[in-house]
């Protein structure tokens, strides 16, 4: 039985709005915490600030006062990844008994610590989960079919969240691997930048397929070394999300990579989660001595350490090895 009654989305961007709209279609009311009064007014006028062609459901209410967080028993964090740690702090100050679902895809900080790692250190009694997978917010908002993953050590929480979305266009599968789910969501954004670079250089479909496949192997290696389940890399959180994000400039991260090659980059870099994750992934791989040649190459390109031709040449001159190497 689902005892979740009061639902909040901490962050009023496109993903928070898309999830709230989806729940409203299933008859579930929710509230969205937004940072500015203008956005609050727009949403409470039954208009979406992110999806202007959609009528915003009356079951959704927006608010500004963080003290109201105390009224909710389930809070989805739907901010950019650099804001997650502060969001957790705000929630724990006002409502430490709430259940929390992190939907942001990235690392908690530049050291490469994951969101589950931070929670276990700072808030060991918090019941939380990670929602991730191949989901473009605008498609979810438009009621197009999608599948994603809800991971939690607390099986009842995962089941309850999945049941909230039951009979909607968003199907949630269950997992206990919060570490793997969190890491996979972060690494795929880095690989999407690489896929954009590949497309920008017109390296062809073969090259991009190879990048995605080897990117999954690097993801698998990182997950396994950090205590997650390598199988997660081969599911919705891993290969599913990476395939989506690396397949179309609909993805901010892939578009950033394309524009980087064309030297026509007008993206808001703060919204390119792969950039936020890149330095963290490098530090994480160095901390655990994990070999990550694709992540390293993308980092060299972003930081202008080497040119494209040299990086491609070095990748192909690496010693021949077995396809699967977990360690």
The verdict on 210 and 67 lying in the same domain is no
Residue 164: inside a domain, yes or no? yes
Cα maximum dimension of the chain: 61
Domain's final residue, options 176, 207, 230: 176
The verdict on 143 and 219 lying in the same domain is no
Residue 1: inside a domain, yes or no? no
- The pTM is what? 0.94
Which CATH number is 75's domain given? 3.40.50.720
The verdict on 149 and 236 lying in the same domain is no
- How many domains, the chain? 2
The better pLDDT of the pair 120, 270 is held by 120
Task: Say what the pLDDT of residue 196 is.
Answer: 96
Residue 326: inside a domain, yes or no? no
Share of the chain above pLDDT 70, in %: 96
Residue 321: inside a domain, yes or no? no
Residue 97's pLDDT band (cuts 50, 70, 90): very high
Cα(71)–Cα(7) distance, rounded to whole angstroms?
A: 9
Residue 327: inside a domain, yes or no? no
Task: Say what the pLDDT of residue 1 is.
Answer: 46
Task: Say what the pLDDT of residue 219 is.
Answer: 97
The verdict on 68 and 103 lying in the same domain is yes
Count of Cβ atoms closer than 10 Å to residue 5 Cβ = 10
Alpha helices (H) along the chain: 14-25, 37-43, 84-94, 115-122, 137-141, 155-164, 178-200, 205-225, 241-245, 252-262, 273-287, 293-302, 308-316
Residue 157's pLDDT band (cuts 50, 70, 90): very high
The better pLDDT of the pair 49, 190 is held by 190
Q: For 267-306, what is each residue's pLDDT tens digit?
A: 556 678 999 899 999 999 999 999 999 999 999 999 888 8
Q: For 304-326, what is each residue's pLDDT tens digit?
A: 888 888 988 899 988 888 887 65
The verdict on 199 and 171 lying in the same domain is no
Residue 324: inside a domain, yes or no? no
Q: For 241-259, what is each residue's pLDDT tens digit?
A: 999 999 999 999 999 999 9
Domain's final residue, options 135, 156, 176: 176
* Catalytically annotated residue among 40, 105, 188, 230: 188
Kindly state the average pLDDT of the residues 133-141. Answer: 97
Task: Say what the pLDDT of residue 267 is.
Answer: 53
Task: Say what the pLDDT of residue 268 is.
Answer: 55
Residues in contact with 292: Cβ distance below 8 Å, sequence separation at least 6, in sequence order: 218, 221, 222, 281, 282, 285
Q: Is 188 a catalytic residue?
A: yes
Task: Say what the pLDDT of residue 265 is.
Answer: 59
Domain's final residue, options 130, 152, 176: 176
Kindly state the average pLDDT of the residues 166-172. Answer: 96
The verdict on 124 and 203 lying in the same domain is no
| Structural domain range at position 256 | 187-316
Kindly state the average pLDDT of the residues 47-61. Answer: 91
Nearest to 17 by CA among 45, 56, 67: 56
Residue 56: inside a domain, yes or no? yes
The verdict on 257 and 193 lying in the same domain is yes
Residue 62: inside a domain, yes or no? yes
The verdict on 156 and 14 lying in the same domain is yes
Here the contacts of 82-87 (C-beta below 8 Å, separation 24 or greater) are 82/106, 82/276, 83/11, 84/108, 84/115, 85/109, 85/118, 87/10, 87/11
The verdict on 160 and 219 lying in the same domain is no
The verdict on 52 and 106 lying in the same domain is yes
The verdict on 164 and 192 lying in the same domain is no
Which CATH number is 217's domain given? 1.10.1040.10
The verdict on 225 and 282 lying in the same domain is yes
Kindly state the average pLDDT of the residues 53-59. Answer: 92
The mean pLDDT of the chain is 93
Kindly state the average pLDDT of the residues 34-38. Answer: 91
């Amino acid at each position: 039985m689902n005892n979740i009654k009061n639902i909040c989305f901490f962050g009023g961007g496109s993903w928070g709005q898309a999830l709230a709209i989806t729940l409203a279609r299933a008859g579930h009311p929710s509230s969205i915490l937004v940072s500015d009064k203008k956005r609050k007014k727009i949403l409470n006028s039954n208009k979406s600030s992110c999806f202007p062609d959609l009528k915003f459901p009356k079951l959704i209410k927006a608010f500004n006062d963080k003290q109201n967080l105390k009224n909710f028993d389930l809070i989805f964090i739907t901010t950019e990844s650099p804001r997650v740690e502060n969001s957790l702090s705000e929630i724990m100050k006002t409502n430490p008994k709430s259940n929390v679902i992190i939907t942001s895809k990235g690392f908690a900080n530049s050291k490469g610590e994951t969101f589950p790692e931070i929670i276990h250190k700072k808030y060991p009694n918090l019941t939380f989960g990670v929602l991730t997978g191949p989901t473009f917010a605008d498609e979810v908002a438009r009621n197009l079919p999608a599948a994603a993953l809800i991971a939690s050590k607390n099986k009842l929480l995962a089941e309850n969240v999945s049941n909230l979305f039951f009979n909607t266009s968003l199907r949630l599968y269950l997992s206990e691997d919060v570490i793997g789910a969190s890491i996979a969501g972060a690494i795929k954004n880095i690989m999407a930048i690489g896929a954009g670079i590949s497309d920008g250089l017109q390296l062809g479909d073969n090259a991009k397929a190879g990048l995605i496949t080897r990117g999954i192997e690097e993801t698998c290696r990182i997950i396994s070394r950090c205590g997650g389940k390598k199988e997660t890399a081969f599911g919705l959180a891993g290969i599913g999300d990476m395939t989506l994000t690396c397949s179309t400039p609909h993805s901010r991260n892939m578009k950033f990579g394309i524009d980087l090659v064309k030297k026509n980059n007008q993206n808001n870099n703060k919204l390119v989660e792969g950039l936020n994750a890149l330095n963290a992934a490098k530090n994480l791989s160095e901390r655990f001595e994990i070999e990550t040649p694709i992540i390293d190459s993308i980092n060299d390109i972003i930081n202008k350490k080497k040119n494209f031709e040299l990086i491609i040449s070095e990748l192909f001159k690496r010693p021949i090895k077995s396809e699967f190497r977990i360690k």
